[in-house]
Amino acid sequence: MDTLSKEYIIDFFNNRLMHFGDRPEALGWLQSGQVQHYKAMLDVGDITGSRILDFGCGKGDFYQFLVNKGIQVEYTGIDINENLIALASAKYPHTAFRTLDITTEEIGEDFDYIFCCGVFNLRFQGIERVIKDSMQILFRHCTKAFAYNGLSIYAKVKEFQLHYSPPEELFKFAVERLSPYVSLRQDRLEGEFTMFVYRDLNRTTPQCNRH
């Protein structure tokens, strides 16, 4: 990611954080929609007791969701926005949050599951390349599965400032460059898709968490 794009993303969410405060809207969600996104992420399988990385964690809302669901994991959250990380660290002082740009810095450890939920929904120059590069970096640090959510080009309504990906293109990329064990779904969230990339065949049975 180039410097201007990175600064644009950071400034965009800093402004939303100043306007909305500690609410899902600061990250572009409505509360009900945010919960549905997190439930869709859990279709990856049973993550109880796992080491997980929340890539683009924002202010730690996915961590709170897991706590509310009673799902115990060893959680780490990373984000390029130091203000969001500062808020997350203040809210959850005993949880690991780090300001980190994986395109220029090393993650430095591996995780069982890595989640990337709505991270690349904001449009910027070269985003498709950044998505694919990030997927490759993240999957190298993933021992069981990588879960991805994004906006679909097949969404009936689109907003100019948001980015919509062709799901089939990312599926093809994942199969060819990451793993042959890939599940793609576009039946959980209107105008969006979720994709799960697994390390081995025995972990390719997603669980539906609709409650």
Distance of alpha carbon 11 from alpha carbon 99, whole angstroms = 15
Q: Which CATH number is 3-203 given?
A: 3.40.50.150
Please state, in angstroms and rounded to a whole number, the distance separating the CA atoms of residues 103 and 85: 18
Nearest of 164, 83, 158, 85 to residue 122 by alpha carbon: 164
Average per-residue pLDDT for the chain: 93
Enumerate residues 6+ apart whose C-beta is below 8 A from 132: 170, 173, 177
pLDDT for res 42? 96
7's CB contacts (< 8 A; 6+ apart) are: none
CA 73 distance to own-chain centroid: 16
Look at the pTM and tell me if it is higher than 0.95.
no
The pLDDT of residue 55: 98
Which of 66, 68, 62 has its CA nearest to residue 49? 66
Average pLDDT over residues 121-125: 94
Q: What is the pLDDT of residues 27-66, one digit of tens each?
A: 988 787 899 999 999 999 999 999 999 999 999 999 999 9
